[in-house]
Amino acid sequence: MCGITGYLAKNAPQFVISALKMLEYRGYDSAGIATSNSKITIKKTLDGIDELGKNLKTKGNVAIGHTRWATHGKVSLKNTHPFTDCKKRVAIVHNGIITNWESLKKKMKNHKFSSETDSEIIAHLIGEQIEHGNTLLDACAKASKKLKGSFAFLAIEKGKKEIVGVCNESPLIVGEGDKIEGFSSDINAFPIQIEKIARLKDKEIAYVGRDKIELFDFNLKKQKIKWEEMEKKRIRLGEIFEHHTIKEIFEQPKVIFNVNMNEIKNAKKLLKSKRIVILACGSSKHAGEIGAREMFEKLKKEVKIEDASEIDYSPVRIDKNTVIIAVSQSGETADVLRVVKKAKGKGAKILSIINNPYSTLEKLSDYSIHLNCGQEIGVGATKSFLMQVLIFKLLSGERIDLKILSRELSKTIKGNLSRIKRISKWMAKKRDAYFIGKGKWKWAAMEGALKLKELSYIHAEGLGSGELKHGPLALIEKNSPLIAVGDNDSASTWNNAYEAKTRGAKIIGIAPRAQSFFDIWLKTSARFPLMSAAVNEQLLAYYTAVANKINPDRPKNLAKSVTVL
């Protein structure tokens, strides 16, 4: 789960640096760039893309770059891409995981490896083929056939004005404009000069030379390129927002209008199936848990839900009578993709709820409902979570007036903003926090806890409110923050919150009506309490991170799409 990019253009390194900034959400442990002139020149840094761009001595018309989320090998300069072969004739950047790198490495005894990564093997395999007199394109094709796993990589050769891009189970897009050609892991990272793009399929290779782009399979049989006009709407942080996360939270009252009712109507046909299994990870799983309860409540439909990384160990049957609802913002989460592929093999149908329409999950699905909420750059899910919940509610047959929902969400933000900013300063000094709720509210509590911990690094536990007295209450002390979420039917949650208050907890109630014992009340919409509560939780997590001087867009150790198992 890294970002790769490369350009053939005047001032190619500058294009690479700008693109890496847009790809940084995919991983930001370290970054590097390589250019090809009479020799390969490389610069690497552990200090972010701005640092990489400073005093960049590498000039030229050919450059590739990488922003890393470490998988094999710790965060260090030597494990930072690009990598070269022994003779520094080629440089590569790679996104994905090479599963057979160790066995390949054992066979390459005469090669000197400089890193602990799986990726470096690619540079050596290509270098060996170049040594045998192959062109860069031939060398990449031959090397690719030896690799197992998921990989999108770019390769350049010393003194050559060309870039070769290879794709297998990791996203790679090639783009073309006036006097510029290049590659990117993500469509949004292309500069405005790129006018059309083509997504590479698995086992495809794109050759980019001067004014020439060609597509091949791994046997170098030519393929037809399916160009798409480049969308002009690109994501930039506006003047008024300091971070993508807050921008994305504020976008929610608007993006809900993008829900596609036709897709929901068509998807409902699939829900007639005998068995429905929802599959997701993280925040998407929380949305799925809420969805499963909505479907049970309103459609009287029994729905199983499982964490995609746990399903192999759970008593869930998947067969030809099963519809899998795969929920994933990115559509690239490896845990989800793995189970989806397996389920397809057993004859199950795949209905995905997905934000990225160009993702691998989209390709694997029989039908998709799109979140249509625009790219989410902040690493914590915000607007995508809200859209997923909305889609589940609509799928369950709830009639929602989007205009009223939008107004209520705006009111939530405006009405609570200054209060949340104040509480966040208090919260920022805490070590632990507890979020409680019952039924679907348990999952709203779990989401609140996840948001707080990942954005602000405060340990937070989300739990069913009834569970509090079975153990966690032992942790409550004077002024422990306890956030209770619910609606006008949540009497038992309020009882459990009161029990914690009796033991010293400070109660933040997120609810449409205040209870007398709430220390702080964050008012939610009476018509849409759950979605309104989610927005409050997001704001709380965001401002607590800001109060702790943490960049909420890029929590440490995380990346936006988790493409490793």
CB of 370 to ligand F6R, least distance (A): 13
- Alpha-helical (H) ranges within 457-528 are 491-502
- Catalytic pick among 158, 383, 501, 560: 560
Q: What is the DSSP letter of 160?
A: -
CB of 329 to ligand F6R, least distance (A): 3
Alpha-carbon gap, residue 29 to 8, rounded angstroms: 26
CB of 194 to ligand F6R, least distance (A): 25
* Of positions 30, 245, 328, 352, contacts ligand F6R by CB under 6 A: 328
Question: β-strand 83-84 against 90-98: which pairing, if any?
Answer: antiparallel
Nearer to ligand F6R, 127 or 282 (CB): 282
| 560 flagged as catalytic | yes
Q: Does 283 help bind ligand F6R (rule: CB under 6 A)?
A: yes
Alpha-carbon gap, residue 65 to 45, rounded angstroms: 12
The structure tokens listed for 188 are: 């949004």
Max alpha carbon distance in the chain (Å)?
80
Nearer to ligand F6R, 385 or 441 (CB): 385
| 167 flagged as catalytic | no
Q: Which stretch binds ligand F6R (CB under 6 A): 155-163, 294-302, 315-323, 325-333?
A: 325-333
Determine the Cα angle at 488 with ends 485 and 490, to 5°: 50
Nearer to ligand F6R, 8 or 546 (CB): 546
Size of the site for ligand F6R (CB under 6 A): 15
Q: Under rule CB under 6 A, which residues in 542-561 are in contact with ligand F6R? A: 561
Residue 289 dihedral angles phi and psi, to the nearest 5°: -65, -40
CB of 498 to ligand F6R, least distance (A): 30
β-strand partners of 432: 459
The structure tokens listed for 2 are: 């890294």
Q: Which stretch binds ligand F6R (CB under 6 A): 95-103, 263-271, 280-288, 491-499?
A: 280-288
* Of positions 4, 31, 277, 281, contacts ligand F6R by CB under 6 A: 281
Q: Under rule CB under 6 A, which residues in 446-475 are in contact with ligand F6R? A: 450, 454
Three-state SS for 286?
Answer: helix
Contact call for residues 37 and 12 (beta carbons, < 8 A): no
Provide the residue type at 296 as one letter: F
Q: Which stretch binds ligand F6R (CB under 6 A): 54-62, 193-201, 329-337, 365-373?
A: 329-337
How many residues are listed for the chain in this entry? 565
CB of 89 to ligand F6R, least distance (A): 38
The structure tokens listed for 173 are: 């897009």
CB of 327 to ligand F6R, least distance (A): 7
Alpha-carbon gap, residue 43 to 37, rounded angstroms: 14
Alpha-carbon gap, residue 143 to 155, rounded angstroms: 11
Nearer to ligand F6R, 536 or 561 (CB): 561
Name the nearest CA neighbour of 524 among 515, 516, 535.
535
* Of positions 35, 330, 365, 424, contacts ligand F6R by CB under 6 A: 330
Nearer to ligand F6R, 283 or 532 (CB): 283
Alpha-carbon gap, residue 459 to 445, rounded angstroms: 14
Q: Under rule CB under 6 A, which residues in 332-391 are in contact with ligand F6R? A: 333, 336, 380-381
**Residues in contact with ligand F6R by the rule CB under 6 A:** 281-284, 328-330, 333, 336, 380-381, 450, 454, 561-562
Q: Catalytic residue numbers?
A: 2, 560
